Amino acid sequence: MKDRHSLKVLFNPTQEERLEREPLLAFSFYLSGKNNILLSLSDTIIEQLNEGFKDPRNLNINLIGEASTSFWFWSLGAYEVVRTISQAKDCFSTTFLDKINILKKQLSIVRMPSAKMEEQGRKKPVNSNRSPDDWNIESKDLLVGSPDNPLSARELIELYDQTLCSLTPSDVVKRHDESY
User: 3-state secondary structure string, 101-170?
Assistant: HHHHHHHHHHHHHHHHCECCCCCCECCCCCCCCEEECCCCEEEECCCCCCEEHHHHHHHHHHHHHCCCHH
pLDDT at residue 163, rounded to an integer: 97
pLDDT at residue 20, rounded to an integer: 82
Residue 119 lies in a domain: yes
Give the pLDDT band (50/70/90) at residue 118.
low
Residue 18 lies in a domain: no
52-79 pLDDT per residue, tens: 999 999 999 999 999 999 999 999 999 9
> Which stretch of DSSP H or E encloses residue 23?
none
Residues 160-166 have a mean pLDDT of 97
Q: Read off the amino acid at residue 122.
A: R
CA atoms within 13 A on the CB side of 74: 26
Residue 75 lies in a domain: yes
Instruction: Tell whether the model's pLDDT for residue 9 goes beyond 70.
Output: no
Q: What whole-number distance in Å separates Cα of residue 35 and Cα of residue 130?
A: 30
Q: What whole-number distance in Å separates Cα of residue 169 and Cα of residue 26?
A: 7
* Average pLDDT along the chain: 87
More confident residue, 160 or 146: 160
pLDDT at residue 179, rounded to an integer: 83
Residue 11 lies in a domain: no
Instruction: Tell whether the model's pLDDT for residue 116 goes beyond 80.
Output: no
Instruction: Tell whether the model's pLDDT for residue 112 goes beyond 80.
Output: no
Give the pLDDT band (50/70/90) at residue 134.
confident
pLDDT at residue 4, rounded to an integer: 39
pLDDT at residue 165, rounded to an integer: 94
Residue 73 lies in a domain: yes
Total structural domains in the chain? 1
Residue 17 lies in a domain: no
Residue 122 lies in a domain: yes
Give the pLDDT band (50/70/90) at residue 37.
very high
Instruction: Tell whether the model's pLDDT for residue 101 goes beyond 90.
Output: yes
Residue 135 lies in a domain: yes
Q: What whole-number distance in Å separates Cα of residue 119 and Cα of residue 112?
A: 6
Residues 88-102 have a mean pLDDT of 97
Which residue range(s) make up the domain with 132?
Answer: 28-179
